[in-house]
Structure 1
Amino acid sequence: MSSTAVFRSRLDRAAAAAADAGFDALLVTPGSDLRYLIGAQGGSFERLTCLVLPADGSAATLVVPKLELLGYESVLVDGLGVEAATWVDGENPAKLAAGLLRNPKRVAVSDFTPALHVFGLRDALAGVDQALAGPVIRELRMRKDDSEIASLREAGAAIDRVHARMAEFLRAGRTENEVAADIAEAILEEGHAVAEFVIVGSGPNGASPHHSASDRVIEQGDVVVIDIGGPVPAGYNSDSTRTYSIGAPRDADVAGTYAVLQQAQAAAVAAVRPGVTAQDIDLAARKVIADAGFGQFFIHRTGHGIGLDVHEEPYIVDGNDLPLEPGMAFSVEPGIYQPGRWGARIEDIVVVTEDGVESFNNQPHELVVLGE
């Protein structure tokens, strides 16, 4: 299927989903939702750009500043069926967008629309019920098609190649920031468009799941959490965590505790199959960790969906009773974090298949000892 046909299908399905949800239109500003629907990568600035997608199947229109039209011309092609409505400074683009709709009663606005534009659209559509578009669009985006899965597989292989090079960067005497800079360069070298994030958590910093990198000097015996990722050129993201030790771990409990974590991550991946709920996967990991006495040290959900965003639906967390379906892709990343001492996490991106699961990350899950 051509890219034009793919985007045309997504627009049609999004319009139908909006109608089923009781909306008269979707209003989608730049971001991952707009990229998903029409392939546009523009950013959101003080000037409004907005795709107006009627739910009745009539033509979609991209409201765009005339000075930015050139950046969108590649998506305004024959076959896609998206028209352009341009505006210039001094005109009210929210009123232009509102005027494209025929007596709407309820519209859905993309989740990450800046407040500046949310308020403008609210005023231009006074009396019209407005809600978030996320619940509509995520139903499409959660289920990846073959081309999306291929891009996620490519991203997974690319980030695996970076982890395979970790001995080049990670050693005692270097700061976390120095290691992170080298990893970011490698992420680009191995096929990513951007190094979206690099976490280097050494020693006690590894007990902070969202630590980034610091001037701490990595020491012999440190356990180090490396969580890295970013988009490949097609826009789909990698996200993989492995835990390393600089020589033999200084703490005697590392081997036993890490073995529990490895068992928990494997149990969660093994539980993935169609029909199992998202919370079941979380429970599969959490039970192993809790039964071993480390429950209080597993302080986040087991996973998150991934695609054009690093974090998107479905979320693998207690309370999410969503049944998994083929094409749903997400992380499986339990962790054990002991404040003031050390932490560890193992993360793979997986996709639900027709009869089970495929992992996009295939680097070793064991604690990798470097520098011996």
Structure 2
Amino acid sequence: MDTQRFGRHRKIMPFEPGSIEALREASREKAASLNQHVLGYGATAEAEWAAAGIAAPNLPVMRKYRLDRIRAELKRRDYAGALLYDPVNIRYATDSTNMQLWVAHNPTRHCFVATEGPVVLFDYFSCEHLSDHSGVVDEVRPAVSWMYLYSGELTDEKVRRWGAGIAELVAEFGGNRRIAVDHINPEGVEELARRRISVGNGEAVMENARLIKSSDEILAMRRSIVACEAAMGEMEAALKPGISENELWAELHRGNIARGGEWIETRLLSSGPRTNPWFQECSARVIENGDLVAFDTDLIGPYGFCADLSRTWLCGDKQPSNEQRDLFRIATDQIAHNTDLMRPGTSFRDLVERSAVPPGDCFPTRYGVLYHGVGLADEYPTLPHASDWTADTPDGVLEPGMVLCVESYIGRLGGREGVKIEEQILITGTGNEKLSAYPLDERLL
């Protein structure tokens, strides 16, 4: 595809010195040169990656790989293009970011990826410079946002203006009038239908595109995990009796942000009696000597990659109880057994059928899944326990380049404490490789 024919926002002729256009272009060029993705991740992260021996990913090659994956899916499903609102999907398609958490619930930024044509990013006001680094965005247009915050009772009028822009792209670059959309409110579907544009499942397109990681994506993920585990080390060093769960959790956030990470998706850290059952969000509870402290990072780190790891630590200098050791042993044995099963060519159903499960008194409090995909966030597939498999659970096959997390939560029904462990695993051509390396608490082994 000749992308040079696209890109209305590119400067195509010199401006008069001192003109408004020249000043705008200079301002944009300055802002683009100072973009966070251009400046990089800083000395701390780079030193840790060098010590770990992890080379830098080739980002231009990675970005092209991703666009090729998206377009292959669009062609396979006979779509003219994809309209993306999910900021994670926009990151995958453009490797650009803008207020990621805010736009996740305020749909003011979207992207159109033509199957045979340009990538057009509809960005927030005066944000054209935020994607200049990517090399894959052909054009930037101002986004027309029709959420109630902006449009009030005039939503229908604003939707029509938004729809005109999408219809223009479909008419110019679409071989048909079918597009895939990941997230959209009913008014948008109705407006596109009025313009004879049908809407299909964009999540299916994007999840399948994101499923197989390139070698550069794996390098970026390795770097994100190294940054996450360095922050985990700082958090463990801060774990002393008398610290609150919230104060401890803040250490992981600080370490992630200091290394150029982006956000943490949950608040899953708990201690002592709050570790059973799982899914208590971290609180002001003061952690006591001898408590178990369990957490799940759910961390979006450098390069936008997720590092999704769980550990359980013993706080203080008390010896662990027999019950704490027993719970920990059951969890580590389950993780080891289930990781060994993760091999290319294994079907999802066969994998869960052969997986180890918690014993009877821990089964009612089991974690909701045994495995789930991971990339820029938690991704397809999600594999439940065999007993939870239903007629509408999708099957598939493990393939090289897939990355999955293997999970275990062990807590007795009605018990005081529980143990959470999770590892991040790459499916290779011959088996698997554990990408996560943070050591387990030896006192509990």
Query: TM-score, normalization: structure 1?
Result: 0.84
* Cα deviation, residue 65, structure 1: 5.7
Residues 280 and 210 (structure 1 numbering): CA distance in 2 closer, same or farther, change over 3 Å? farther
Q: Does 1:13 align with 2:69?
A: yes
Residues 249 and 335 (structure 1 numbering): CA distance in 2 closer, same or farther, change over 3 Å? farther
Matches within 5 A, 1:21-100: 21-29=77-85, 31-42=87-98, 43=100, 44=103, 48-55=108-115, 57-64=116-123, 67-75=126-134, 77=135, 80=136, 82-86=138-142, 92-100=161-169
* Cα deviation, residue 270, structure 1: 0.9
Provide Cα deviations, 1:274-330, integer angstroms capped at 9, x if missing partner.
Answer: 01133444444443x24x653223131023222211x11122334442211111112
Does the residue aligned with 2:404 lie in a helix, a strand or coil?
strand
Q: Does 1:265 align with 2:335?
A: yes
Provide Cα deviations, 1:122-142, integer angstroms capped at 9, x if missing partner.
Answer: 313424331221111211201
Residues 84 and 170 (structure 1 numbering): CA distance in 2 closer, same or farther, change over 3 Å? closer
1:253 matched residue in structure 2: 323
Query: Aligned match of 1:299 in 367, 377, 380?
Result: 367
Decide whether the 8 Å contact of 2:224 with 2:302 is kept in 1.
no
2:237 matched residue in structure 1: 168
Structure-2 separation of matches of 1:17 and 1:266 = 35
Structure-1 separation of matches of 2:179 and 2:419 = 44
Matches within 5 A, 1:1-372: 3-29=59-85, 31-42=87-98, 43=100, 44=103, 48-55=108-115, 57-64=116-123, 67-75=126-134, 77=135, 80=136, 82-86=138-142, 92-102=161-171, 104-110=176-182, 113=183, 115=185, 119-126=187-194, 127-189=196-258, 192-246=261-315, 247-248=317-318, 252-287=322-357, 289-290=358-359, 293-309=361-377, 311-317=378-384, 318=389, 319-338=393-412, 339=414, 341-366=416-441, 368=443
Residues 92 and 364 (structure 1 numbering): CA distance in 2 closer, same or farther, change over 3 Å? same
Structure-2 separation of matches of 1:146 and 1:194 = 24
Q: Which runs of 5+ in 1 are unaligned?
A: none
Does the residue aligned with 2:438 lie in a helix, a strand or coil?
coil
Bigger fraction of residues in helix = 2
Decide whether the 8 Å contact of 1:241 with 1:347 is kept in 2.
yes
* Cα deviation, residue 245, structure 1: 1.9
Structure-2 separation of matches of 1:297 and 1:47 = 37
Structure-2 separation of matches of 1:46 and 1:228 = 25
* Cα deviation, residue 191, structure 1: 6.0
Decide whether the 8 Å contact of 2:330 with 2:410 is kept in 1.
no
Structure-2 separation of matches of 1:87 and 1:160 = 38
Structure-2 separation of matches of 1:248 and 1:92 = 66
> Based on CA coordinates, which of the two structures has the bigger radius of gyration?
2
Deviates more, 1:335-344 or 1:61-70: 61-70
* Cα deviation, residue 169, structure 1: 1.7
* Cα deviation, residue 164, structure 1: 3.5
Decide whether the 8 Å contact of 2:275 with 2:294 is kept in 1.
yes
Structure-2 separation of matches of 1:86 and 1:191 = 27
Does the residue aligned with 1:92 lie in a helix, a strand or coil?
helix
Does the residue aligned with 1:99 lie in a helix, a strand or coil?
helix
* Cα deviation, residue 66, structure 1: 5.8
Provide Cα deviations, 1:196-216, integer angstroms capped at 9, x if missing partner.
Answer: 545321112112432221121
Bigger fraction of residues in strand = 1
* Cα deviation, residue 101, structure 1: 1.2
Decide whether the 8 Å contact of 1:264 with 1:284 is kept in 2.
no
Residues 17 and 193 (structure 1 numbering): CA distance in 2 closer, same or farther, change over 3 Å? closer
CA RMSD of aligned residues (A): 3.0
Structure-1 separation of matches of 2:394 and 2:265 = 27
Does the residue aligned with 1:324 lie in a helix, a strand or coil?
coil
Decide whether the 8 Å contact of 1:151 with 1:232 is kept in 2.
no
* Cα deviation, residue 258, structure 1: 2.0
Structure-1 separation of matches of 2:342 and 2:107 = 44
Residues 237 and 9 (structure 1 numbering): CA distance in 2 closer, same or farther, change over 3 Å? closer
Indicate the percent of aligned positions where both proteins have the same amino acid.
22
Residues 323 and 8 (structure 1 numbering): CA distance in 2 closer, same or farther, change over 3 Å? same
Residues 240 and 46 (structure 1 numbering): CA distance in 2 closer, same or farther, change over 3 Å? closer
Does the residue aligned with 2:303 lie in a helix, a strand or coil?
coil
Provide Cα deviations, 1:105-131, integer angstroms capped at 9, x if missing partner.
Answer: 422102xx353xx52353134243312
